[in-house]
Each structure stands twice: as structure tokens, then as C-alpha cells.
Amino acid sequence: MGGEFTLVIKMNTSQEEISCTWQDESNCIECSLDEKLICRYNKKQWQYLISTLIPWTLLEAGGLIFIGFVPGKWWPLITYSGVTIAFFFLGIKSYVLCSHCPFYAEEGKILHCPANTGLPKFWKYRPGPMNTFEKIILTTFFFFLFTWGLGWEIYGIYFAAKNFGFSSLAFTLSLSVVTLLTIATLTRFIVVLQKDFCPYCPNFSCPMNRVSKKIIVEYLEKNPKMKEAWEKKGFVIIKPIKTPENGEEKSDE
């Protein structure tokens, strides 16, 4: 029994750097964060998020292709494609957002997480929170991603109606349908993010994250290296205290 206990302690100590998210799953038994955080990789969760992302991106790309054929403006599609590819696959998003996430601590060159599985890992894991500049970069990209294609689709409807009138009714109606579907699928994607992912995501410094400070503190207490990095950046952990009236513990929440 003593030998088994020593083995577990050594395993945990050697894996301290990579966060409990990628430590042996036996450490999750009776964890206080069970069902409060998405802190273990689950392929089905990733597939669920991707199933809401794909319809929106296909409709948005389709709308930009419409804009290329009719108003003759291909640069919105080129810009959208270039920015998206650079941000997701050339390491920008990976650096400003993903490298701060406990899921990024996994060994290997490919990221596995409920949102970005398959992205290449160009950088080292950085357990501290995002800085202000990184948050500005990420927020700007999200704004671009959510508005660029939709804005051009609305412009395309206006252009067709103004320049072709009823002679291009079929095009105007088609693009109108694409635009409405884009709005619907984008709304669904954001709702799924905010309902099923952002309130449970361990990448706590992301601008869209909605995890409570109490749960953040619980997770940091289980990950000393991450806790140390966060405290160096000014994150304050207030320990629960006992009130003199009833002896019950009371936190800063």
C-alpha cells in the first residue's frame, strides 16, 4: 500500500507542469470540479461544437462567393480567407489564446481541446492569463469573424436591388435567403458557445469566458504552476474565512 502511494505522488509531481487536465484520470475521482468545468478532453464535445460551426462558415463563404460573382468584388472573400487561415492555422490564435489554456499543456504538436482540436501547436504552454494586448487582438478577430461576411451579404442584397431591380429578383431572393440562414446559424453558434462551453472552459482569461471566480480558484489550487503564474499577473485568491457568528466558511463570492 505504501509503495502504491509513493508511485502516485511521483507521477503527480512529474506531471505538475502540464496541469491536471492532462494528468492521469484517476486524479479526477471525487474532484470538486466534476461537471463544473470542461477540463478533460471529450471528442464528442468538439464534434458538437464543430457541427454548429460548419453550417455558419459554409453559408458565410457562400455569401462572399455571391458577392464575387455579381458586384464583382472578390477581395472580401480573399480578405476573409486570408485572415481566417492566418489566425487559425499560422499560429496567431494559438499564441494569443490557446497557449494560455491547460489543454495546450498536452505533449505533442497538435492541440486537442473541445474547441480547437487539430490546430498545430507552434508555441510553448504559457500558464499565465492573457494580457490586454492579446485580448484586444482576439476581440478584434471575433468581431471581424462575426460581422465581415454578414455585412457583405447585406451589401450584396442592396447592390442587386439597386442595380438590377426585378430583372435580378432570383439573385436577390437567393442571397436574402443565404443571409437569413447565415444570421440563424451564427446566432446558434454563439448561443452554443455561451451556453455549453464558455461557462465551463478552463481558459479563464479569454474575453468570452464566463466561469465564476470561485471555480477558477478551485482549479488554480489544483494546479500550482498555473496558480503561481496567475498570481504573478495580479490575480488575488482570497481564502474562505469562518464568520464568528456561526463558524461557517465565507468566501469573497
**Calpha distance 19→99 (Å, rounded):** 13
**Calpha distance 33→76 (Å, rounded):** 44
Over the chain (253 residues), the average pLDDT of each successive run of 10 is: 34 53 74 83 90 93 87 90 91 92 90 89 92 95 93 87 68 87 95 94 93 91 89 78 52 48
pTM (global) more than 0.75 = yes
- pLDDT for the residue numbered 200: 93
- pLDDT for the residue numbered 250: 52
Q: 225-231: which pairs have CB atoms within 8 A and are 24 or more residues apart?
A: 225/16, 225/17, 225/19, 225/127, 226/19, 226/102, 226/127, 226/128, 228/127, 229/126, 229/127, 229/128, 229/129, 230/127, 230/128, 230/129
- pLDDT for the residue numbered 103: 92
- pLDDT for the residue numbered 138: 95
- pLDDT for the residue numbered 147: 93
